[in-house]
Copies of this chain bind each other. A is one copy, B any other.
């Protein structure tokens, strides 16, 4: 798809040696808003950069987006499909990270934590679906190990190549 293509204005490459020794173990409870509760945890513990090391449970009332087939860069919301599903679903994987925003993006303001989560959900007969998660309610439980990323300078800012907020360490 990108054969011999040059991308003008890409964010610089980076690699950091970080410290994940500070880990928070918690359970979210039935009816709790997954993103709302995670935002509270992030703020209470001064987590600027974070990463989910493990999370399982079950969710209901989920909203997630996936890329339309054949979409090209830069992206915008019209190049994705929104799925809004009732469930409940087994939460098989919840992967992602938290990084502070520089500038504005969508409803987020400068300095806000960008909570970027991808999920895999199990349906009634074992087939799966999922994507970039935007909204979810805890059904029975969500059991989370969240690590603070120490020694990191990573922030996110909207980029011209992808159209999305992208990680960089030069801001």
Contact = CB atoms under 8 A, between A and B. Distances in A.
B86 A56 contact: no
Nearest to A96: B56
A58 to B, nearest CB: 6
A61 B85 CA distance: 29
Contacts of A21: 19-21
A135 interface: no
Nearest to A64: B126
28 contacts: A1-B61, A1-B88, A15-B25, A16-B24, A16-B26, A17-B24, A18-B23, A18-B25, A18-B145, A19-B23, A21-B21, A30-B161, A30-B162, A53-B54, A55-B95, A56-B95, A56-B96, A64-B126, A67-B89, A69-B86, A81-B125, A83-B125, A90-B118, A92-B93, A120-B120, A126-B130, A140-B164, A143-B167
A95 B17 contact: no
A157 to B, nearest CB: 12
A27 B166 contact: yes
A10 interface: yes
Given A30-B2, A93-B118, A97-B143, A124 B67 contact: yes
B120 A140 contact: no
